[in-house]
A and B are shown apart, each in its own frame.
Chain A
């Protein structure tokens, strides 16, 4: 079993990168544990697929090393690594049956026929493909084809990690949930490391134990879904995760108070914020509530979105836009509404990066 270690890894698709802007993947140092479910999350073009292809060996990085345990695999070809990959579009061998598809990687490695048979049956039952084993793979639905691609990876007894490159792109929405929970189930049954690339935060947060958020070729934060939600390390993470994303309000820090325009918001700790930096106060819409007049800061309501399960009000505080939660029973027809912040949930960001509180203090 493997830990996956990335050392000073970076990649540029250009032969002579002139500066950081030429790097599809900027230098990263990471250690990933065996058996974990990781998600690489980020918008298109953030370098997540590049990173995945480096891990699988389809791309050789322009600098840095990749280690599986203590084995340097940086230069090792794909077929020599203990990894499997599931692609965005299902890759199946058209002329073969499902059984032949699943047996293909084992056959290529010259394994014993009886072993192949038991192994294929085992994986097929794990993936609920037993019924279709002797059908042509070509005629099956997209989700069954993706399961076959996954099965071709899992069938190899030496596979330590399975890489997924946005595997649910072509799957019908109602089947996405099903397939994703199947993946989780398989992850629990087999102690395989799974690395899942996606730009869909729901997919990432529900699938992974640890989410690696990437932006513009950089790893911005690694954390559990809760950490990303509650303590985003970067403005980008706050924006990208959660819908709507985190509110950011420019402010001035004075001890345990954040001054937003003429309003002073109570914080749960003091921050050492320098005056030069661009200081912002970040808070999730979930922790700002709309309330009746007289209880908090006065705001103007722009509009209220009814999302079914809850309502989100888009309001303005001292000219700054933010999204806030509307409590279920609140009557929003009145004009002079106010908002209240949950001070323990407020984060302070300097130039986009989260500041650690200096000391416990204040109210």
Chain B
């Protein structure tokens, strides 16, 4: 008879070690920094939850910066979702369902996704310049006052257009996969039922895309809320602080001012915000489905 023991747990050990080194230990370092202050020379002083208090107090310098940046982040993510999700659905609906056009459009759509973030930033930085960039030159030529270095609105429009250009493809590809999974019989039945194009969308396509849309919204929210590289390359957070998102401010605090304690506290709160918002999104978007399942059982 084989002895009963718990030795199988050893099999989990490699995973545990990898996760510890890749995630838990670095995170703990950040937690450690967040409760201390440093003036350089690798000397640290205990500060307790001081940084967190300051961070959440809008009247303090740090808190004010943080609240402002967070506001910008939410506005940015909101605009991104409001543009990219409907646009992605629309493009997916317009894509060919068969023939050579499918491969061509898939490749074209995948292209922006394959470009590294800082290259995307550089492309748009050049594209928007009035002297050598096609868009900047054309807009200025038409008499429109467009300058993303000095104009707040121009800077925002530029980074939003850049993100839409870069990431709408992801939404399109997800939606397209969802659409392709709908059996032909649904469309045939809808034709027999005399459904209009809009009715087909409402009654068949949108409900069948439900799941992929949850994923698309989550991915695009997380990604846009953590945006750093592209605005950093294009505007550097300016003009003024107009496009300074939390991530950009975080880098300024951590590496520019070398305030490791403040930066660590900010990182943790930033992380928690993303987790919380994602959880809320996910819960809301899957709520109806769960409610339905409960009703059936």
Interface residues of A (CB under 8 A from B): 56, 58, 77-79, 83-85, 87-89, 91, 93-96, 104-105, 108-109, 136, 138-139, 149, 152-153
Contacts and interface: CB of A to CB of B under 8 A. Distances in A.
A265 to B, nearest CB: 51
A104 B194 CA distance: 9
B207 interface: yes
A58 B193 CA distance: 13
Contacts of A108: 193-196, 199
A78 B192 contact: yes
B191 interface: yes
Nearest to A135: B295
Nearest to B191: A78
A31 B194 CA distance: 27
Nearest to A163: B192
25 contacts: A58-B188, A77-B191, A78-B188, A79-B192, A79-B193, A85-B188, A87-B185, A87-B189, A88-B185, A91-B185, A91-B188, A91-B189, A93-B203, A93-B204, A94-B208, A95-B203, A104-B203, A105-B193, A105-B194, A108-B194, A108-B196, A109-B194, A136-B292, A138-B292, A139-B295
Tier of interface size on chain B: 10 to 19
A232 B289 CA distance: 54
B58 to A, nearest CB: 43
Given A87-B185, A87-B188, A108-B193, 12 more contacts: A58-B188, A58-B191, A79-B191, A85-B188, A85-B189, A91-B186, A91-B189, A93-B203, A95-B207, A96-B203, A104-B193, A149-B189
Closest 8 CB pairs of A and B: A91-B189, A105-B193, A108-B194, A87-B185, A79-B194, A139-B296, A93-B203, A78-B191
A93 B207 CA distance: 9
A300 to B, nearest CB: 51
Nearest to A108: B194
B137 to A, nearest CB: 48
Contacts of A85: 188-189, 192
B183 interface: yes
Contacts of B189: 85, 87, 91, 149, 152
A244 B24 CA distance: 70
A94 B205 CA distance: 10
B183, B188, B207, B208: most-surrounded residue (chain A CB, <10 A): B188
B190 to A, nearest CB: 8
B207 to A, nearest CB: 5
B185 A89 contact: yes
A66 to B, nearest CB: 16
Contact of A83 (B192, B199, B208, B296): B192
Given A87-B188, A89-B185, A139 B292 contact: yes
A79 B194 CA distance: 5
Interface in B250-297: 292, 295-296
Contacts of B183: 89, 91
Interface string B19-52: 0000000000000000000000000000000000
Nearest to A83: B192
B185, B186, B295, B296: most-surrounded residue (chain A CB, <10 A): B185
Contacts of B191: 58, 77-79
Contacts of B295: 136, 139
A174 B243 CA distance: 66
A304 to B, nearest CB: 45
A78 B195 CA distance: 11
B207 A94 contact: yes
Contacts of A153: 192
Contacts of A89: 183, 185
B199, B203, B204, B207: most-surrounded residue (chain A CB, <10 A): B203
B185 A152 contact: no
A56 B192 contact: yes
Nearest to A95: B207
A89 B183 CA distance: 9
B194, B195, B204: most-surrounded residue (chain A CB, <10 A): B194
A90 to B, nearest CB: 9
